[in-house]
Structure 1
Amino acid sequence: MSIPFPPVIDHFAPLATRYDVAFCDVWGVIHNGIAHFPEACEALRRFRAGGGSVVLLTNAPRDGAVVESFLDTLKVPRDAWDVIVTSGDVARAEIEARRDQPVLHIGPERDSSMFDHLAVRFADVDGAGYAVCSGLYDDETETPDDYRDLMAAMRARDLFMICANPDRVVERGDRLVYCAGAVADLYESMGGAVLFSGKPYRPIYQRALARAAALRGAPVGLDRVVAIGDSVRTDLRGATGFGIDCLFVTAGIHAEELGGRETIDHGALAAIFSEAGVLPAVVTRRLAW
């Protein structure tokens, strides 16, 4: 039996009064890694102007301040959001708890801010006590398959991995590039133990809810929070698992399998939701007021 199809809307405004807080995904919803999406940013600005609070919730494996600087380069308006919570923030707490162990960092140099001021010791696979994967060393040319030998060496030593970005792929302009989640999935498939620090796992949502409560000066009920995102695996699963509504954006990471960025293939969308076994509260093509 098929599951019911959620409502499809063109504008966020009719929903806005239902919520006090929006947990908004970043990459794929408000920018594509090259440029920001003006309509989406304006929608968040208007939500805030009406009394709402916006927590940007991202699987970026970096400190929130680094993400903020990147958003500035893309000209994302500062008044479109209140605070940023990243999977890198959650990973830092896990790294700090293991500060006495040498760490193998798998990922590009740009992610090194997650280790700032933690006085960690870095090591190769033979000397590490655990590993942190924040991405591929070169996501322009490499694929997860290039990491099989490294994963095998880690597995031989039974190294624990912290995955600082559970995303498998992300948009960069009009292309998809691999992320840390794809490497972590490979390691897990080989029998390795992995802790995923971002969406769809609870720790990042708990951190975001605490930040929202601090912003508003009072606890926020889950029925007054909406998650906005474009990934079934991270945004939709994470929101439903945490007990909050999800506004699902189709013109993002799943765009090509859903009929393109300008239309929605309802059959393909229904099939994705059915396969995942989860439904958003509402579907929209792009975030717009």
Structure 2
Amino acid sequence: MSRIIQSLSEVSQNYEAMFVDLWGCVHDGVKALPEAIEALRAYRARGGIVVLLTNAPRSRHEVVKQIEKFGVPEDAWDNIATSGDSARVAMFRGEVGQKVWFMGVDFDLPFFEPIKLLDEPLEIERVELEEAEGIVCCGPFDAHAHPDTLRPQLLYAKQKGLKLLCANPDIVVDRGEEREWCAGAVAKLYTEMGGESLYFGKPHPPVYDLARRRLAEIDRDVPDSAILCVGDGIRTDILGAIGEDLDSLFITGGLAAKETKTETQPEAEALAAYLEKESLEPTYSIGFLR
């Protein structure tokens, strides 16, 4: 059974580094969460390293700009690993071809900016679907429209045998009080239709490899046993941590607040029922990062 804790400080002394999800843990898509910021600051003050590990479909530098607007201070983290950077490496290696059809919004266009993680990146060309060799999906065109609205384009792509590169495996996120669809929902639909989707964010291994590289950039040799993964996505953050054999802290007040009956803390019976249904068991659980 996952151990319910009252604060991060109860267990943080056991870990040299943390991989911390952003959306739903550190900010709510609109503003920073004050208790989470203070918890991360306190952890870093004791010598801990914080790598923000996010399924944001954009580069580390773009995420820095975004979280600054939300009020997440630089002294609350050390480095950032994004599914966007992991996916960009794959795109610039040509895993979905040179000519790609882009699915997303203008805010996601920095995804195509030059990358420094490769010596000889492929020159990518954005084209119409009819000319494409593959699809790059940073999200649906309309985050509030059901992914089914994209079925005609996806059917055409499947018939052409196009691979879909999913830059954000999240199905949904909550922006303040509103729930939005993410690229993962589109990729899931495409796979269900018989298409091939390639994933590069949590819970898939490539983004954890990148997170470890970001951790190594701080000049610290941290064993997996001393890393704690923090997140509110049971099928992304927690499943990914378990797959990597890393300890995890489940933030129940995010995406699963209703299912776990979380106001300030999860209701023990509701949490147990939810985890049994998901067949996953995080090391620890807490209502909110604090």
Shift of 1:220: 1.4
Q: Quote the offset at 1:219 in angstroms.
A: 2.4
**2:232 corresponds to 1:230:** yes
Q: Which of 127, 132, 137 is 2:131 aligned to?
A: 127
Structure 2 counterpart of 1:31, which letter?
A: H
The secondary structure found in structure 2 opposite 1:264 is coil
Q: CA RMSD in A?
A: 1.3
Aligned residue type for 2:155: A
Cα distance between partner residues in 2 of 1:268 and 1:83: 35
Select 2:34's aligned residue among 34, 38, 44.
38
Is residue 59–residue 167 contact of structure 1 (8 Å, CA) maintained in 2?
A: yes
Question: How big is each residue's C-alpha offset from its partner over 1:74-133, in whole Å with a ceiling of 9 and x where there is no partner?
Answer: 111110001111000001101111186200111111111111126421112211001011
Partner of 1:172: 175
Among 106, 110, 113, which residue is 1:113 paired with? 110
Query: Does the aligned pair in 2 maintain the 1:21–1:224 contact within 8 Å?
Result: yes
Match of 1:104 among 101, 104, 116: 101
User: 5 Å matches for 1:1-289?
Assistant: 5-98=1-94, 101-117=98-114, 119-140=123-144, 142-215=145-218, 217-288=219-290
Query: Structure 1 residues 17 and 262 mapped into 2: Cα distance closer, same or farther (>3 Å)?
Result: closer
CA distance in 2, matches of 1:162, 1:274: 31
After TM superposition, give the deviation of residue 174 of structure 1 in Å.
1.2
After superposition, the C-alpha distances for 1:210-251 in whole angstroms (9 at most, x for unaligned) are 211221x24211110000000100000000100100011111
Q: Which moved more, 1:206-215 or 1:14-23?
A: 206-215
TM-score, normalised relative to structure 2? 0.94
Contact map agreement 1:252 1:261 (CA 8 A) in 2: no
Q: Distance in 2 between matches of 1:231 and 1:267?
A: 19
Which amino acid is the alignment partner of residue 201 of structure 2? G
Unmatched segments (≥5 aa) in structure 1 = none
CA contact (8 A) 2:265 2:288 kept: no
Please give the secondary structure, in 2, of the residue aligned with 1:247: strand
